[in-house]
Amino acid sequence: MVNVVVRVWMPDRPGALGQVASRIGAVRGDVLAIDILEQGADRVIDELTVALPSEDLIGLLTHEVDDVDGVSVEDVRVVDADRVDPNLSALALGSALAESPVDDRLVVLVSGVQRLVDADWTVVLRDGEVMAQEGASPDVEWIQAFLDGSGHLSAVDESLPGDLVWGHMLSAGLTLASGRSNRPIHERERVRVSLVARLADALL
């Protein structure tokens, strides 16, 4: 048994998700969780966590879902067995932050967000100085300069870069940033990171 996350674009119409679920069932897949990442302009981007009997079925699963009228697969990837619902993962991260000693909370935050976003890198910055880090980030001065100018942007702004997500921790004077290059970051993911950053801000 293997768990995969299937990210799909589909028409925002009744029955579209049911058609996709039917194709998943046709390859003996079991839908474990559904996360709506973005919705608008008559389109919806869903992330489906699916249990498959074998990794060999991923190609067939992709073909079946792509074959639904108006539906396209953005990404398919294998995930850990305990990675089912990203909203529960965010809640678990919040619990871990609250239960950790104060001095350990930045490390818990960056490692948790790194996993939550499936990121290449995650950093917490204060005035251009790295306070905690996971992975190899781009130039810190560039990140800080971008974040300093991001205050007017919202989580749903269409001009947001597809490879970067962040959350400002105003009380602590910190900013959390995370990036990945293999697939775009969508609205729901940005909201989750922003809320996690707000929670961390209250705990630091």
Q: What is the pLDDT of residues 104-124, one digit of tens each?
A: 999 999 999 999 998 999 999
Of 17, 49, 79, the position where a domain reaches its end is: 79
**Do 52 and 152 belong to one domain?**
no
Q: How many domains does the chain have?
A: 2
Q: Which of 58, 79, 100 is the last residue of a domain?
A: 79
Dihedral angle of Cα 49, 29, 31, 108, to the nearest 10 degrees: -30
CATH code at position 91: 3.30.450.40
Residue 139 pLDDT grade (very low, low, confident, very high; cuts 50, 70, 90)? confident
Select from 31, 64, 79 the last residue of a domain. Answer: 79
The pTM of this model reads: 0.80
Domain containing 92 equals 86-203
Residues 30-57: pLDDT tens digits? 999 898 998 888 899 999 999 999 999 9
Cα–Cα dist 11/41, whole Å: 9
In this structure, the answer to whether residues 110 and 190 fall within a common structural domain is: yes
